[in-house]
Structure formats: structure tokens, C-alpha cells
Amino acid sequence: MDIEHEELNHSSNESSSLPSDLSWSTSSSNTNYQMKKSFFNVIDTNISIDTEINAIINIWVNVFEKNPKTGTLQLFTIVMNCLDIDVCESSFTNFNSIIMFRKITKWLKIMEEAGSLLSPETIKKSSDVQKTLQFVYSIFHCHSNLFFSNETHKSYFIFLTDILIKLSQCDFIGPRLLATELGLKILTGLIKSSYLKIVLNDFNLLLNEFFVKRWKDTSFIVREAVLLELKLWIQIDSIYFLNDFWKYIYWALGDRSTSIQIIALKLSKTILDMHSYVTTVKLLVKKIINVLPNLLLSKNNEVVILAFSLYSTLSSVVEDDEEQYLSTIESIAFELIFSENSSIARFTAKYFMDAMVNSQTDKFEQLKVVLLILRGIPSEMTTVAISFFTNAIYDFCPLLTDFKLISQVLSLENSIEDRDKHNLMHVLMYVVKWLVTGIEPEHKIAIMGDQNDIVQSHTNKFKKKEFTSYLSMHLINELKNCKEPTYAFSIWTLIQFIDFKLLQDKMILSEIFLHASLFYNAWSIPTLLEIISKFINIISDIDGFEQNLSLKCIKDIAEINFNILRTGVEASPGDIPSLLSQKNALIKIWTLAKYNSIPDDIEPLKYLSYYIPDLNNTHNDLIISNFALMAYMEILRNKLLKVPIVQNMNLNNQVFENNVEDTFATFIGSMFNILSKYDIQLISICETAFLIINELLQIKFSIYQKKYELDDNQNMMLTHFVLCVCKNCEGNNDLNTLKIVKVYIQLIQEGLINMNHLINLLQFVKMELFEHALRPLFNFFCKKETGNELSNVINLYLVYTFENIILQKPDFKNSTIKDVINVAVIISRLLCQCTDQSGKRLIATNIHRRGIQYAMSDTLNNPYSDYPFKQFFWILTSMYQILIPYDAQRLADHLLDKPTTQKLINSENEHILNYLYKLQEVYNTDEN
């Protein structure tokens, strides 16, 4: 269908110069949803595409044979229809490609201005385009003789290819892609036709235009089309195209586009697998060796996996003189087993396990190879690297779960060196945990331990029994030889998975507890002590003899370390323990209290209180440490959780409850005081205090189903702390700030602190870290029930910031209204991603209605003044995206109903006029 030139909103002069034999298809217009009738809809839709194409080709061939000019015009029409450009056959007077391309370019420019020009992605997905490509290929494959039977017919061919050549060089990527693909299909058709030798000169010309030149295209999507066609040509005639075009495959491997690298890697693998006998393939291999290391180090997972797959094929085709280069690649490829990305690690692990480990017939030799691999890990990376390594090889190395074999190896004196034994135990720690708990090795567990490390909700009882039978005594014996923290961590983790009910000798457990006490006295590494504390907790849950051993161990460890604290509090200045001794004692108390209950008769909270600022009268010789805060928190948590138990048992213990309440109030008050003294030098202890406040509020609510109300002073302290943290944020990768922000947002979302605290974060929303963190919070509150509250906070922030900038308050001297507008745009973006449509409408209309009221609040005094409030319309204008057309119309009506609005419009007040224009723009989108 043709469209009138007048509808294009162009000037009359421009309209008169528009091509009369071409028109823009209404199917692409944003204002008309009628579908264009495709050339390919003339055939029954129930038949296959191949049958449809063949039927259409037969129709076209008949047309061309009767009237070549009409056939060419019809083919040209099909091509133009792919761009949503219709050809007016009645106005088509000549086959001058220069004039025709000028007309096509004009229409493309018009379509670009109207926003209807097809993108390359749309062209790639279009079924009509794909059918057209197949149609063109089939014509030149089966019927190329039609265009080369005489000079007149060939002139039609030249016309078509000239148009495509020019189009393949235009500035519009979509049309450029289409023209390139069509040109390539003509070449493919000619390659498979019997006419290639006859038209070789024409073929070489087109090859240069559509392949060589387009290979250098700036758009990766065009280069991708060229490479895919080369892949097809190699399938047709591998010898010729590998001999002449192998360099293009090498260049594609180094392309900056990962999608092209992926195609090139797949193609290279196919070539090495099927055509390694071709001489030029050996040249390609040399080039692949040069570029493969970079591909193995790519950030794209698929590229890495395909590059490794290609590496695995190289060994069978590489020349002797290139083996030294291949060994360099092998070392890079081998390191991928330790990749954090499990898909990459497991893919490479399967190859190397089969090649290096499972190929050994003797299991002892297999184990030696695994240990040899582990030896290559730098000592500073052992913990993390082994967790990734175990995760990678677990499914491909059965000997790791052969506990009988491992027991035999450990039983042989001097069978393996200490370093290998340490690595083996570290691997075994992850393997046994995986078997017993179902939890795969994780980076975070490897570094800091995790509560889930010992959760046995999916216990594999058979494997646990087997593990206990073969390895329990080895582990207990190794406790005497643990002189290295990482090794000790592995042994204690493994001990937790022993089934102690299967042990016949009860004295074994006594020996383990003796070692637990010795380790607590000798070490002060938190992670190691935590794992021992977990073990003590596991045994304390067993009734009888085992439980008594556990309770005694807890009391003994606690008394030793609280005696150090007690001495620090009560002794004369000369006898106070060193700061290091105090710190170590606090670490041990915290790790013990994290999983176990400290006996009350030791008075743990009393002596810990002296080590916490503002909680008790302290003197300068006592250390201030995070561990004191955390230890106090763990002991208080235990007491808080006892409150509902006491209530459920109907025990009249009001004194206990009152003491816990008083302790809670005093402790949380001291944590807020720490926040108020925020200093960059004390950031760690302030962050700990904040996280403890979060835990206290959470626990309090979980017990009483009633939130703890912060007083004004505590709200101010919390605000001060969060603002200081945000101001000192070191960028979007600042994990400490992100952790604080997430906890703060969680407190707001759960209603444990007032939503007005959101204002603190909105001040920093221009940073990606804060915008990303606020998305779920906005989505949570963007609903009917809470929309009013969220819109109030947003309005409060915008007005507060706007007024402070207008009044040039000290903290806002370097800020402008433009800064508020930028934040308003981000807030709009956050609201637009919310899923609840009714909540979104509520918030949007609230923000704009209250904003209008604020912006118009100075009109009674001086309706013609631009200062100060009417400037607020610029902020509202920047938030027009959050409105739907209906609400935009209602807001416009609401604003126009105000008596002073017309006066402002008559005086051409730019603030209000611009806002009304934006509202109209939103409303017009619905009209369209």
C-alpha cells in the first residue's frame, strides 16, 4: 500500500522530491497496526517452507521467461519489501541503479526519522527475510542461466547487484545487513550452480564486495553473517575455500566480538576434525596456537569452553616443532580446572581426569597424580583453589570417595609427604561434606566456614558409616600432628562427620575433647575455633556421657578465658594482662558462645561489659575489640531466646525477664552510642555495632511480634552513621558499604525502622551501587497498601533537597537544581521497574499532585515570579515517564483548573508550559 507524502510531515519542497516509484509500507508505521501482505503468503500455509519456496520460484520463473523486465521488477519488489519499502510498478520507468539507490536512501532516511527503520536484530528474526534469502539462493542455484543468457538479461542482474552493493555500503546497519546477506546468497547460489565458470568475473566482483569488504564492516552482526556464509562454502568445497580463505577464520578468532569468536571456534574445531589433511589447515593450526591462549582467558564462558575443546583437538594435528608452544597452552588450559566458574572447571576437569588420572590402571598411581596436581597450587591460594578443584573433578574422579583406598594410603608409613597429606585432607573435607550434607564446595565456606557446613539434613548414612569405619581413627591420630591452621581446619571439619554412635571405645571421645581444649588454648584463629565450637555443639546434643563431656569442655574453656578478662577488670594496673591476651580471650569466648551456651555462674555478661564502650566503667588498659561486642551479643541472644521457653513452661520468672529486658535496652543503647562516634579509624567497630543493632531488632520482633521503637536520639545516631558510611563509599565495588546498605534496606522493608530513613539513601542514588540496592525496596513498597508512605518519603526528599539548594544552605552550596533533577530521573527509573501497576499509579499521581501543590504555593503572592517554587516544575517534568496517559490528562485538568495557571500560561512561564507539554506528550502516546 502507498502512503501519501503529506502524511510524512515533511516540507512541501522535500515532498515533491520524494521518489514516486517507491513508498514506505504502512506495516512499519507506529500509528497503523495493519499487517502488510507478504509476497510469500500466496501459497497454502499448511505446506513446508521448502515446498512453498519451490512453488513461488516456479511462479517467478514463468513470469521472468514471459517478461524478464517484469520478473526482475518482481524480484526487486521482494527485496524492498524486506525493508518495508513498497515498489510502485506503474511508476517504475527505468533500471538505473544510481537513481534508484538515491530514491531508496531518501526513504530510508525518512523511516529513520520516523523511528520505523528496521534494526539488524529485526531483520535477522524476520521469517519473510529468511524466506527471501532462501528464494534468492534458489534462483541463482537453479536458474542463474536466466540472467546470463543474453546482455539484456545480464543488465537486469547488474541492476540488482549494483543496488545491493550500494545498500551494503550505506550507513544504516539493518539495510546493510540485508543487502550483505542477499549478496552472499547470490554467491552461494552461483557456487552450487553449473554456471560459475562462465560468470567467474562477475562472481569475483561480488565476492570482493559482499565478502572481502563486508568482512571489515564496523558492525559485528554484518561480519557474523559473512563468517556464517564462509562456513557454508567450506561445507560445499572444503579444499578450494580452505586454501583461499583460511586466514579469515584465523582473523575471526581474534575478532573483538565474542559471537564471531564462538562461530570461528566451532568452525575451527570442525575443520581440524574433518579436514586436517588439507595443506593450508596446518598453516591455520600455527595461527590457532598463537591466538588460543587469549581465548582460553576470555571472560565469556562459551568462548573459554569452545577454546578448550579446540585445544583438546590440537594435540592430534600439531607438528613436532610446535609442541613446545602447545605445552604453554596446556598450562593455561590446565589452570581452568581451578576456575571459579563451575561449568568451565568441570568441562576441563573431565578431559584432564580422563587423560592424566583415570588413564592410570593402578588406583594408588591415580591418587598420586591428583596429589601431584595439588602440589602446583601456590600456598596462599590453597584453600580457595582446592574448593574449586574438588567441585570440578568430583564427578570424574571416583577414587575421591574410595575411603578404603585413602585409609590404606594413610596407614602406610611415609607413603605420602606431609604436604600431600594436608592437601588430601583438604580435598576430603569438601568431598565428605558433599556426600553427607549434599552441599557442594563453595568459596565462602572455604574461607570463613558456614553454618550449613555441618547441617546433615540430607545425610548419606551409608557413606557416613563407611567414612567413620575407615577414617575416624586416622583423623583422631592426626590431631596430634596439626601444626598448620589450614590442616587443623580440615581435620576438625572432617571429625564433625564421624558417626560417634558407631565408635566402640567411648574413651576416643574423651581424647577428642582433650584436643579441643588444647586447641582452644593454643590457637586464636577465629575460623578454626569456630569449627571446633561447632563440634562441641554437635556432641552436646547427644544425651548421656557425650553431653557431659561437652558441657565440661565448654565450662573449662570459658573459665580459662573469663579469668583473663576478670584479671583485666579487677587486677592492679601492673598485673593487667596484655592487650593481645585480652583480644585472644575475647576471640575464644565469642567463637565458643556462637554455638554453645556459656554457664551463668561465670557471669559472662558482667565481665564482658567492661570491654564495651559506654556499657560499664572501663579504664584505658582494657582492649576495645569487635570480638567483645560479638561475644556479648551471642550470650545475650541465648538469653533472649530463653524468654519464650520460660513463658511456655509457665514459670513465674519475672525477675529473669526483667533482667533480660534491662540488659537488652542497655546494650542496644551502647551500640547506638558507638554509631554516634563514627570515625574512619573506627569503621570496623562501628559496622559491628550496626550489625548487632540489626540482630537485636530482629530478635526482639521475632520474640514479641512487636517492633522495638527507636527514640529520636537513636534515629539521629543511626542516620548519622549511615550518612557517614555512604559519604565514604569508595565506589560501586565497595562491598563493606553494600553490606551495610543491604542491612539498612532490610530494616526499612521489614518495618523495624521508619521509612523516612530511606531519605538517607536517596541522597546517594546517583551511584550505581545504591540504585541497584534500592530496586527491590521500591518494588516491595510500590503497592496500594504502602504506596502513600513511599510517595511521602520521595516528596519529602525532593522538597527538602530543592529548598536547601534554593536557600543555599552550607551543605548544599555545591549542588544545583540539576542535581535534584538527576536524582528524580533515577527515582522514576526505579518506579518504572516496579511490577504492581496500581501501586505505581498511586505513587506517580501522589508525587505529581503534591509537587504541583508545592510548585504553585507562591503564586498567590506573585504569580509572575520565577522564584523560587515554580522551578520545582522542572523536577516534575523529569518524572513524566512514571505517568500513564489517563493520569497525565487528569493532572493537566487539575492544573488547568487553578485560577493562576492561565495567567502563568499567558505570561509564557516556561516552567509550567514545559510541564504541560510533557503531560500532553504522555497523553498523546495513548492517542497514537
| pLDDT tens by residue, 847-865 | 999 999 888 876 545 544 4
Three cell numbers, residue 724 = 557517614
Average pLDDT of span 682-687: 90
Average pLDDT score, the chain:
86
| Residue 24: strand pairing partners | 85
879 band by pLDDT with thresholds 50, 70 and 90: very high
Three cell numbers, residue 141 = 542455484
Give, to the nearest 10 degrees, the angle between helix 151-167 and helix 173-192.
140
**Whole-number Å distance between alpha carbons of 129 and 772:** 39
Q: Each residue of 54-91: b (16+ CB within 10 Å) or e?
A: bebbeebeebbeeebeebbbbbbbbbbbbbbbbbeeee
Three cell numbers, residue 872 = 520545582
Q: Using an 8 Å Cβ cutoff, are 34 and 26 in contact?
A: yes
Three cell numbers, residue 71 = 520478473
Amino acid identity of residue 346, one-letter, is R
Distance from CA of residue 643 to its chain's centroid? 42
Average pLDDT of span 524-551: 89
**In sequence order, what DSSP letters do the residues of 315-373 get, joined into one string?**
TTT--GGGHHHHHHHHHHHHHGGG-SSHHHHHHHHHHHIIIIITT-SSHHHHHHHHHHH
**Burial class (CB within 10 angstroms; exposed 0-12, middle 13-18, buried 19+) of 820:** buried
Q: Using an 8 Å Cβ cutoff, are 556 and 592 in contact?
A: no
Q: Each residue of 723-751: b (16+ CB within 10 Å) or e?
A: eebbeebeeeebeebbebbebbbebbbee
**Whole-number Å distance between alpha carbons of 425 and 428:** 5
Average pLDDT of span 123-135: 93
**Burial class (CB within 10 angstroms; exposed 0-12, middle 13-18, buried 19+) of 415:** middle
Q: What percent of the chain has pLDDT over 90?
A: 59
Half-sphere exposure of 924 (CA within 13 A, CB side): 7
Average pLDDT of span 85-98: 76
Instruction: Name the DSSP letter for residue 24.
Output: E
CB count within 10 Å of CB 604 equals: 26
Over the Cα atoms of the chain, what is R_g? 38
Q: Provide CB contacts within 8 A for 682, sequence distance 6+.
A: none
Q: Using an 8 Å Cβ cutoff, are 768 and 723 in contact?
A: no
Phi, psi at 756, each rounded to 5°: -60, -20
**Whole-number Å distance between alpha carbons of 130 and 505:** 77
Domain positions in the chain:
1-236, 239-338, 350-499, 798-928
Asked, as a colleague might, if the bond just before 485 is cis with ω within 30 of 0, I would say no
Which helix (H) or strand (E) segment is 134 a member of? Answer: helix 127-142
pLDDT of 175 > 80? The answer is yes
pLDDT of 74 > 50? The answer is yes
| pLDDT tens by residue, 575-589 | 888 999 999 999 999
**Whole-number Å distance between alpha carbons of 629 and 106:** 74
Which helix (H) or strand (E) segment is 87 a member of? Answer: strand 85-87
**Whole-number Å distance between alpha carbons of 133 and 781:** 51
**In sequence order, what DSSP letters do the residues of 706-754 get, joined into one string?**
SPPPPPHHHHHHHHHHHHHHHHT---TT-HHHHHHHHHHHHHHHTTSS-
pLDDT for the residue 651: 58
pLDDT for the residue 453: 45
pLDDT for the residue 925: 65
**Whole-number Å distance between alpha carbons of 785 and 781:** 8
**Whole-number Å distance between alpha carbons of 157 and 164:** 11
pLDDT of 406 > 90? The answer is yes
**Whole-number Å distance between alpha carbons of 607 and 876:** 57
> Which is more confidently placed, 459 or 658?
658
**In sequence order, what DSSP letters do the residues of 808-821 get, joined into one string?**
T-GGGTT--HHHHH
Average pLDDT of span 298-310: 95
The bridge status of strand 85-87 relative to strand 22-24 is: antiparallel
> Which is more confidently placed, 34 or 375?
375
Please name which of 240, 235, 159 lies closest in space to residue 197, comparing C-alpha atoms. Answer: 240
| pLDDT tens by residue, 18-42 | 344 555 543 333 333 233 344 555 4
| pLDDT tens by residue, 257-297 | 999 999 999 999 999 988 888 888 989 998 999 999 999 99
